[in-house]
Amino acid sequence: MIDRDLALGLVRVTEVAAIASARWMGRGDKNAADQAAVDGMRKMFDTLNIDGVVVIGEGEMDEAPMLYIGEELGRRGPDDVKVDIAVDPLDGTNSVAKGLPNAISVIAVAERGCLLHAPDMYMDKIAVGPKAKGVIDINAPVEQNLRNIAKALNKDIKEVTVTMLDRERHEDLVKEIRRIGCRIKLFRDGDVAAAIATCFEKTGVDVLMGIGGAPEGVIAAAALKCMGGEFQGRLYPMTDEERERCKTMGICDINKVLYLDDLVKGDDVFFAATGISDGELLKGVLFLENNVAVTDSVVMRSKTGTIRFVEATHNLSKKPQYIKYA
């Protein structure tokens, strides 16, 4: 069993990653922003009493020096719980580089063997909050899904808001949603944050639709499992190489619908996120005088259903080993 106190430890990890990355806000260097987040996150993982393995990270071992798939994290003591770890130190690299909203740092943790080792490719997705759970079907027509969601939320179809990545591949989907009469909210980067937004009424987002990253889909599914929402996905390989990679990872039927329990098994899942730039749910990192930073985070656990929002003030002068100056 995972110690419930791990939740606060995970927040500390995303906080450091967010602060380090936020120093690169608007400076036009997405790679530097991402590397800063990776460096900060990697250092903080060494403070946690876990025996963790990265199943979703920055890439394969030969592609990433840190937080690569298969890397072992935590203190890894003899009594430390064995866990799977999915990380996205910076979800929204372009947003940070350009000073745009909705960039976050995220982590999902579950017991060993419970997180899908999703290949680095696209995934077709649909996600809703708790009130619309049970009424969606990724194989159903768009209109059927949207009318079912409207009914579940007790809304007129014209009041339903769909969010999706602003990409050319969604041109036909946008036209269909507009024909049906729903509202649309497009975003440039960060579909983990968008999926989470469906679970909070204050965001005004009712459903996430469209094609995004498969690894981000697993992380988003972990969050929705904690909040009682619903997520369905289907891998969307673009090349023969990607289709072959699915098979090598044990995914023989690429058309199979992946439900929450396929993506995130078990009933003890942790999710933590810290805002880097301002978003609909979390505020971005705020730098104050005297080397002080303020962070806004959320952490949740599926076993208890607890969702905590954490605003923290950091004296960075006392954390030089974790926060590098950009």
Q: Does the annotation place 15 within a ligand binding site?
A: no
Whether pLDDT at 62 is above 90: no
Task: Say yes or no: domain 5-113+268-325 is CATH 3.30.540.10.
Answer: yes
* pLDDT value of position 66: 83
Q: Tens digits of per-residue pLDDT, 250-290?
A: 777 888 999 999 999 999 999 999 999 999 899 999 999 99
Check the annotation: does 244 bind a ligand.
no
Known binding residue 167? Answer is: yes
Annotated binding-site residue? 213: yes
The residues near 14 (Cβ < 8 Å, ≥ 6 apart) are 41, 104, 105, 106, 107, 272, 273, 274, 297
Is residue 261 marked as binding?
Answer: no
> Annotated binding residue at 122?
yes
Query: Which residues, at least 6 apart from 77, have a Cβ–Cβ distance to it below 8 Å?
Result: 49, 51
Element (H, E) at 177: helix 171-180
Distance of CA 61 to the CA centre of its chain: 21
pLDDT at residue 294 in the model: 98
pLDDT at 102 over 60: yes
List the beta strands (DSSP E) in the chain.
Answer: 50-56, 72-73, 81-91, 104-111, 122-128, 161-165, 183-187, 207-213, 230-236, 269-275, 286-288, 292-301, 307-315
Determine whether the annotation assigns residue 91 to a binding site.
yes
Residue 119: pLDDT band with limits 50, 70, 90: confident
pLDDT at residue 326 in the model: 45
236 carries a ligand binding annotation: no
Instruction: Please count the residues of the chain.
Output: 326
C-alpha dist (Å) from residue 237 to 123, 125, 141, 153, 195: 8, 13, 21, 33, 21
Helix (H, G, I), strand (E, B) or coil at 183: strand
Q: Is 266 one of the annotated binding-site residues?
A: no
Domain spans in the chain, listed from the N-terminal domain onward? 5-113+268-325, 122-263
Is 189 annotated for ligand binding? yes
pTM: 0.94
Report the topology of domain 122-263: D-Maltodextrin-Binding Protein; domain 2 (3.40.190)
Q: Which residue shows structure tokens 């259903």?
A: 305
58 is in an annotated binding site: yes
| pLDDT tens digit sequence for 151-195 | 999 999 999 999 999 999 999 999 999 999 999 999 998 889 999
